[in-house]
Amino acid sequence: MPQMAPISWLILFIIFSLTFILFCSMNYYSYMPSLPKSNELKSSQLNSMSWKW
């Protein structure tokens, strides 16, 4: 079985790295988090401060 030249490994590494970076950036920018409404935010802050011992 023939061995791969080092330049082939470098090109393969660059292609996989660029693919990985592209995939991660597409996932990062495609996610749209839902913004909490002001009423929900206030109630969650009040509930988090109520201690139940």
pLDDT tens, residue by residue, 3-48: 778 888 889 999 999 999 999 999 988 877 777 665 555 555 555 5
Instruction: Report CA dihedral (15, 18, 23, 29) to the nearest 10 degrees.
Output: -160
Residue 39 DSSP one-character state: H
pLDDT at 42: 56
Higher pLDDT: 51 or 28? It is 28
pTM value?
0.52
17 phi, psi to nearest 5 deg: -65, -45
pLDDT at 35: 73
pLDDT at 6: 80
